Structure 1
Amino acid sequence: MSPSQEIELTLTPAQAATGVVIPVTLPSGPQRLRIPPARNGDLVRARVGDTEVLLRIHVSGPPAPAPAGKSGALGCLVALAVAAVVVGLVIANSDDDSTPTASSSPTAASTYTPYTPPTYSPPTYTPPTYDPAPAPPPTTEAAPSPFDTGTCLNGQLPDSTTAQTVRGVKEVSCSADDAHYRVIQRFPGTHDMSRCDANPRTEYGFSYQYTLNGSVINEYVYCLVGIGSYSRA
């Protein structure tokens, strides 16, 4: 253990009367020390690590006024009694200097342990794994053959000049009871039914489109005439 070292510390009368947290330059470096209430000439003992430091208190300026209700003689007796006391010192934590604290024992000394913040290790992130969705089986359905000129169709086409979606139009024999339309011309690779406007015999326009997995495989426009009661002639 290193021998005790005495350092003179000057306080104002107000600081000496109430105690104070004050920076003090020690041999080991600057430290913030909590000085308890003391009188001029008091010896305050502190221990920093293995080193004991003695602080000789020097009060500068006129003395602080005595508390109300105390007689002058009693104040003098208290001053004489305290002057010979070695006051224990508590080293102030740098995070809390609001209330000075004095040791209960005049000769006790406390040690200072620096604060070491806890270490933090962030959790390790492991991204989730996903099983890819199985690929849909390949479609082997063959594209239907286009309707030839002269082919007869059944079904029901709308009697409208506005294009509408129709279903159930299939090729049938022209002698069948449900033969309603005959193909008189076709245009491959388009769905523009206005192509039939060039054929004056056209009574109906019919657009057919075949798709596979969302892609257009083939498309045709057919120009038709009605058969029997479906004729517009």
Structure 2
Amino acid sequence: MNAIHALTATRLRLASEMQDQLHKAGRYDPDYTATGNAKRVAERRAQIQAEFAGRAAKIDADVVAAAQRIKTEAAVVRPRTDLNSPVDLIRTEQAWRNIVLPQLEQGRSLREALAHADVDGVLGAERFASAYLRTKAGTASGLTSTHVHYDAEGRPLTVRTEIDLKHLDLTITARLAELTPEHAEVIRLAGRVDHDVSAHREASIEVDRGDALSAAITAQLSQYDVYAALDTDTASSAAAGVDA
């Protein structure tokens, strides 16, 4: 569980705590008339909702700040191609053409092709793999997803295969993390941070509309969904239902 996961868990606990307090606020007080009770309950519940809305907004702001902090830290240490450097451009293109591309042409997945590539090879893939793999939908790239459309009676009409560029980015990030072990954690976190922020927002919307179960499922699955592309050990733990 990373910092954003922890904030999401706090957000869900906050919603549960608010519901408990709203329930308690609705208890009948024999010292009040029926009209007085109704007014008291309405006022107290409005006060509780305002208080918790402020606390929820603070958590949401903390998520945005945490994401920006992770990206800023990663930007300092993550290897990148200097697009203004002819040397960088030549070196990464040569590594792509001589090391990574031949592996892909032999039918290997991008993960397999990058397994023995150095930083230049991975950065070359970051520059060129997207365009190349778009022409290879349905191959062993390991990055394709299939979408089937059905008619009203459930019969398949069309099958469309697309390249999942999100997993392309994650595969590249995973290899860069392996090649820079001293910065691996922050590189991995930055590679999945947009996913974590999106999952936090989705879980928050669900819990705010009263669907605590869906929110809990979203929060739980978000810890494993993208991480499988970043860390095979984590993926194995997730499959076994073990927190990584």
Which range, TM-score by smaller chain? under 0.3
Q: Normalized per residue, which structure has more strand?
A: 1
More helix by share: 2
Q: TM-score, normalised by structure 2?
A: 0.15
Higher RCO (CA-CA < 8 Å; seq separation 6+):
2
User: Structure 1 length normalisation: TM-score?
Assistant: 0.16
* Higher Rg of the two aligned structures: 1
